[in-house]
Chains A and B, each alone.
Chain A
């Protein structure tokens, strides 16, 4: 029982990342009709925004501390971050400590700029080209972005700490009436799940309850008619692309403390996220989120020792197995819209 709860928590956590990326992919596919293979790269760039900010915030000046001496009897050289000097030691420490959440403030504008540049500069010219061409050009872009990041940050993962307040683990078992120390789960992963839930809700609310969202949804249904009504649907869709990039970016930034980011993480997530999108149904936002969490949980449950004893290796292949079964039995995926890439 405890093991299952733990695995479900783990699955929700994995599922959050899948769902956030898949949500962005589906937003882009549903609005622009473009299959974006560079979406994983956007996730990776978001993670490296967090890395950059935490590095920038801890840029230090070497100061001589007269009160202490090193082993030669000279005044000790201490590294003091500039933020310490500007905001005072306490505030400075806090800012350095909370660098990952703070980096979101920078990640969002950066991702919006990247998103708009990408859409206007590259993707725009590929609306009328076949899907294979879109896949190929964005695949090339993903390679380029990955290599640029690798050039600046190296090929090794860059560990980025979460705020120290969230470093420990929460005894989830006690909260739901189990014995203490049976279900213990790291704080930051729980926060990531909550964060993902907020982002997903926000995107859905934005599409459902604002005029802008209404126009976008109408455009997803019938782009031409909306255009004929005198609405500049291209601009709206560009903004949606920026939002999708933003979702991927913040998902990546918040993911940095969970898994030390490296230049390849985007590709690893992308392959799985595509499976998630296809299982959920191309063009269905709900389907993307649902299948993201579903596949995350299935993957976690399959890696329990009891399951592996029965079917060895199942944890490695479960996602793909589910994808094959779903695609063959439900051609549109779990919640696919009628008429969207059915063949």
Chain B
């Protein structure tokens, strides 16, 4: 089906279902309840889930398959964003040309960076990519200000030419759209106490995620993907057999750069703004965290990792001291004070602490990331089932 094996097709369909139903699945709590703050079904966050999913899926094609750890992938995301915003300023607010250009520009740039960086491997490769990304960041901040807008970044303005778009009427602001469907348009359903928001921008980005995910499955299962895994397991042996590995690794690098560019273009399509901090090395670090957390080298891992990190960023950081105090009111005063003080270390503004701890635990105990964790749990339950069956049969026999 779609050129996939059954198990891959089932996984793909599962992702399709999740993407389609995410606004419902991630809003399990009624709006009036205490737990509503754990709801993640609002458009902004959903868009981020899928966009960073695209980014991480692309990063995984490089890191998961070839083992080359790039610490500069945010540069491609940033460059894609700048390309997209210029398309919006000059041509049209329609997102299609913006996204196409962002992918192309990021691809060309990653070809350049990859051609140079891939001459080395291991930590040297990491440092080279980091150097390129930091250079892009520094230049976007300083010298390239006429193109990048420097610290303030770029937004579409009323005065931009936008040669394809009709003249805006007075009081109208330029809004990103897809042939008239605004990215911010939402269809809100009230179902009893529950509120579900179906956002157009999210579904468009989700469509891109599905395409990206499908392509990544095809790459993983192709001879090309096998070749990349061979590079990871033993590059020397590949060279000894007379094979030049560079075209393969470079292709993987460019593909993942284009994914990053696509993510950058989508980000701009959703929020119509860009700043150089998108290229800072912490942003590169974030995609590494996502991929590892989810499970590098697995298909679904990066998407899970991106979702987990963005969920923590948005939900955990909302839990501040007052919220905590509300939760632990039932405890005696002194005890609740200590509990709040302790938990406050892990939530609110310092949610990064939780992220760092979880990340360390994953690297130490679960090198395969959340996916491996899921498999282990599944195995546990598998054993549990068997035991239950034997117990049942035993009891049946005794009867």
Contact = CB atoms under 8 A, between A and B. Distances in A.
Interface in A252-295: 267, 271, 274-275, 278, 282
Contacts of B285: 139
A66 interface: no
Nearest to B367: A133
A150 interface: yes
B219 interface: no
11 contacts: A125-B364, A131-B122, A131-B123, A139-B359, A141-B356, A271-B130, A274-B127, A275-B127, A316-B143, A323-B128, A328-B120
Interface in A212-247: none
Contacts of B235: 343
A317 B123 contact: no
A35 B123 contact: yes
A327 B352 CA distance: 33
Of A35, A137, A267, A282, most buried by chain B (CB within 10 Å of CB) is: A137
Contacts of A137: 360, 363-364
B357 A343 contact: no
B289 to A, nearest CB: 8
Contacts of A194: none
Given A141-B360, A323-B127, 12 more contacts: A132-B69, A136-B288, A140-B360, A141-B356, A142-B356, A143-B353, A147-B352, A313-B143, A317-B135, A320-B131, A321-B131, A327-B120
Nearest to A142: B356
B363 A317 contact: no
B134 A148 contact: no
A109 interface: no
A317 B133 CA distance: 10
Interface string A312-328: 11001100110110011
B123 A320 contact: no
Contacts of B135: 316-317, 320-321
Nearest to B355: A143
Contacts, number: 113
A135 interface: yes
A324 B364 CA distance: 32
B142 interface: yes
Given A35-B123, A324-B132, A316 B142 contact: yes
B79 interface: no
Contacts of A151: 345, 350, 353
A167 to B, nearest CB: 32
Interface in B97-139: 116, 119-124, 126-128, 130-132, 134-135, 138-139
Given A131-B122, A133-B363, A316-B139, A323 B131 contact: yes
B66 to A, nearest CB: 12
Contacts of B364: 122, 125, 137
B325 to A, nearest CB: 17
A161 to B, nearest CB: 28
B67 A147 contact: no
A341 interface: yes
Interface residues on B, range: 35 or more
**What are the 3 closest A-B residue pairs judged by CB atoms, nearest first?**
A313-B143, A143-B356, A316-B138
Nearest to A29: B123
B292 interface: yes
B151 to A, nearest CB: 13
A132 B357 contact: no
A331 interface: yes
B356 A144 contact: yes
Contact of A135 (B69, B131, B139): B69
A316 B136 CA distance: 10
B141 interface: yes
Nearest to A277: B127
Contacts of A274: 127, 130
Contact of A132 (B67, B116, B120, B128): B67
Contacts of A141: 356, 360
Contacts of B288: 136, 139
Interface residues on A, range: 35 or more
A interface: dominant SS: helix
Given A135-B123, A278-B127, A316-B141, A328 B360 contact: no
Interface string B351-371: 011011101100110010000
Nearest to B352: A147
A331 to B, nearest CB: 7
A165 B80 CA distance: 53
Contact of A312 (B126, B141, B143): B143
A136 B127 contact: no
Interface in B240-271: none
Nearest to A35: B123
Contact of A140 (B144, B356, B367): B356
A131 B138 CA distance: 28
Contact of B124 (A122, A132, A313, A327): A327
Contacts of B138: 313, 316-317, 320
A150 B344 CA distance: 12
B281 interface: yes
B356 A341 contact: no
A266 B308 CA distance: 26
Interface string B21-50: 000000000000000000000000000000
A35 B126 CA distance: 12
**Residue in A151, A155, A312 with the greatest tally of chain B CB atoms within 10 Å:** A151
A117 B324 CA distance: 32
Interface in B39-98: 67, 69
A313 B142 contact: yes
Contacts of A278: 123-124, 127
A326 to B, nearest CB: 10
Nearest to B354: A147
A155 B345 CA distance: 13
